[in-house]
């Protein structure tokens, strides 16, 4: 039985494009994987905080030597990394904010990128420990940051995600970007805008 981790990071609720795409993906994934399990994580309602000195000290302390305070500092991180290891696949909804990922998503990354847990150093070289996982990224951007756009160089979202997850051992990835979502704020038809995005999701499952 397969398990999917479904994670959203947009704070705009029902207006979110990335949430609409991940929801559609999850629906089809469940249909394609009867009896499967979905772990849902909403980063806008998860109490994330920047890592601090106590967190760093705890992360670099051997597990059997941690104090009660250190264990408490890593409790959320333990939960979040546990979700990653429990899942076979991941689906992430990520809007672009100021050319990068939302703050909540970066805080999540800082919680799950842990030496000895999701990556290690072997003979002085980093080695990802989230091996054998597959990740699907649905990105929504206000403007057009596609490869053919003059603003393509401002898109730091996909390169950041590829580098970060590749470092953690997740190299089987798919990316789908909904460029130009700002048009919805100026009267563009939502159904029409989403139609090609939803069609691409349907096609991916039809060809699976």
Measured CA to CA, the distance from residue 39 to residue 85 in angstroms comes to: 11
Q: Hey, which residues does 137 pair with through a beta bridge?
A: 92, 175
Strand segments, DSSP code E, in the chain are 3-8, 37-42, 89-95, 119-122, 125-128, 134-140, 172-178
**Distance in angstroms (rounded) separating the CA atoms of residues 66 and 199:** 50
CA atoms of 17 and 103, how far apart (whole Å): 18
Instruction: Quote the CA–CA distance of 138 and 179 in Å, as a whole number.
Output: 11
Q: How many helices (H) and strands (E) does the chain have?
A: 7, 7
HEC secondary structure over 139-154: EECCCCCCCCCCCHHH
How far is it, in rounded angstroms, from Cα 172 to Cα 154? 24
- Percent helix, strand, coil in the chain, to 5, is 45, 20, 35
Please, what is the average pLDDT of the chain?
Answer: 97
Closest CA to 14 of 71, 93, 68: 93
Residue 14 pLDDT: 94
What does the alpha-carbon distance between residue 113 and residue 33 come to, in Å, rounded to a whole number? 29
The percentage of the chain sitting over the pLDDT mark of 70, rounded to a whole number, equals 100
Q: Which of 100, 101, 82 is nearest to 92 (CA)?
A: 101
Question: Tens digit of pLDDT for each residue in 65-93?
Answer: 999 999 999 999 999 999 999 999 999 99
Domains in the chain (CATH in brackets) are 3-206 (3.40.50.360)
Gyration radius of the chain over CA positions: 18
pLDDT in tens, 3-60: 999 999 999 999 999 999 999 999 999 999 999 999 999 999 999 999 999 999 999 9
The tokens for 54 are 């106590």
């Amino acid at each position: 039985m397969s398990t999917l981790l479904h994670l959203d990071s947009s704070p705009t609720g029902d207006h979110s494009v990335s949430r609409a795409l991940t929801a559609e993906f999850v629906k089809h994934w469940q249909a394609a994987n009867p009896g499967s399990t979905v772990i849902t994580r909403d980063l806008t309602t998860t109490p994330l905080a920047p890592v601090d000195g106590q967190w760093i000290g705890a992360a670099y302390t051997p597990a059997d030597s941690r104090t009660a305070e250190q264990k408490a500092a890593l409790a959320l991180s333990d939960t979040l990394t546990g979700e990653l290891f429990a899942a076979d696949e991941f689906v992430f909804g990520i809007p672009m904010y100021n050319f990068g990922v939302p703050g909540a998503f970066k805080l999540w990354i800082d919680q799950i990128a842990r030496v000895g847990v999701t990556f290690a150093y072997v003979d002085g070289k980093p080695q990802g420990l989230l091996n054998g996982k597959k990740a699907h990224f649905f990105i929504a951007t206000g403007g057009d940051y596609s490869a053919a756009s003059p603003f393509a160089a401002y898109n730091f979202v996909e390169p950041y995600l590829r580098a970060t997850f590749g470092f953690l051992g997740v190299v089987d990835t798919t990316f789908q970007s909904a460029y130009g979502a700002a048009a919805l704020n100026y009267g563009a038809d939502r159904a029409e805008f989403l139609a090609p995005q939803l069609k691409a999701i349907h096609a991916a499952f039809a060809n699976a």
